Amino acid sequence: MTTVDVWHVDTREVDTGELPGGADRARFAAGVALRRIVTRRLGGREGRWVRGPNGKPALDGERLQFNLSHAGDLALIAVTDERPVGVDLQDLVPGLDFAAMARRFFPPAEADLVARRGAGEFARLWARKEAVVKAAGGRLTRGLSLPVAGDAPPPVEHDGVVYAVADLAAPDGFRAAVALAGPAPFVIRFLPWKPLP
């Protein structure tokens, strides 16, 4: 069975040299953490990084699959050796009209669900959709109408491929999900972030 390794990273703990604080630093630190994890998984080799048609990073000629998401000072990184993977971390944005967003982008049944359950449900469904789109290496706008509701995420078909989806544990105020290409189940293993290179 496929294992997906997942790291929660506080980007404030990532050494980025003299880069000042703020959103740019958090984004850069998330990328530094991803590169360190991938390099460890490759036994210390750097690998040759490439980008897919929509910008998803990959390693040329390597089986290793990975994905990154960040929100605020937190990052979520998923790595597997077997199947394309997507991960998403969503924060509950204060003041966001989540019901209107759901009505605009989600299928009607999901918009109704969000209207009943609130911001947490909106973030949970959004994270599932974005994880699928990121596993596919696609664009989010094409995935917002994907049906992903259910207490346990259902398999999701996107562009002729079925994706297995799972919710991930996330800190208060966040929701997270991971998706893998193929319908087969998978195991999630949370690993501690070690800030050393």
pLDDT score at 82: 87
At residue 196, the pLDDT reads: 55
Q: What architecture is the 2-191 domain classified under in CATH?
A: Alpha-Beta Complex (3.90)
Predicted structure pTM score: 0.93
Per-residue pLDDT of the chain (197 residues; tens, 9 = 90+): 999 999 999 998 888 877 666 778 888 999 999 999 999 999 999 889 999 888 899 999 999 999 999 998 999 999 999 899 999 999 998 888 999 999 999 999 999 999 999 999 999 999 999 999 999 999 888 889 999 999 989 999 999 999 999 999 999 999 999 999 999 999 999 999 876 54
DSSP for 114-149 reads HHHH-HHHHHHHHHHHHHHHHHHT--GGGTTTS---
Name the residue with tokens 């998401």: 69
SS3 95: coil
Distance between CA atoms of residues 9 and 17, nearest Å = 17
Which residue, 118, 92, 99, 105, is CA-closest to 170?
A: 92
Residue environment code for 44-77, b if the CB has 16+ CB neighbours within 10 A, otherwise e: eeebeeeeeeeebbbbeebeebbbbbbbebbbbb
Q: Supply the pLDDT for residue 128.
A: 97
